[in-house]
Amino acid sequence: MSKAVAKTRIRILLGAAFAIGPGKADLLQAIAQTGSISAAARSMDMSYRRAWLLVDTMNQCFREPVVDTATGGKGGGGARITPFGKKVLRRYRLIEAQAAAAISGDIRLFAREFLRKR
């Protein structure tokens, strides 16, 4: 049996909504890689509607949009992460890494003392 793995997940609440968390950060990264909300959603096994709602929430939470979209049609639509969105994503990933490093010893102890072995 392998050991249970414990890890942290950081979500940042702004007002009543989660502005960003692991899923939204992954979605931003996928949009940057694919240039499309629908392609990003497919790559994450997520519905387009769900991805769109997550992008809309992020765009409403932050002082500037994190994703710009272009309407589809003959020439195609698309989406891109704004320069501001890239800053948000970089800062979020830094917070994740710093938080994980700061509590890694405590997480190991927590897992050893409280989690069921698999």
Q: For the chain, how are helix, strand and coil distributed in percent, rounded to 5?
A: 55, 15, 30
- Model confidence at 1, in pLDDT bands (50, 70, 90)? very low
pLDDT tens for 40-82 read 999 999 999 999 999 999 999 999 999 998 876 656 678 999 9
pLDDT for the residue numbered 102: 95
Comparing 86 with 3, the larger pLDDT belongs to: 86
Type of residue found at 55 = V
pLDDT at 114 over 80: yes
Is 2's pLDDT higher than 60? no
d(CA 30, CA 41): 8
What domains can you pick out in the chain, each with its CATH number? 12-114 (1.10.10.10)
Per the CB < 8 A criterion, the answer to whether 108 and 5 are in contact is no
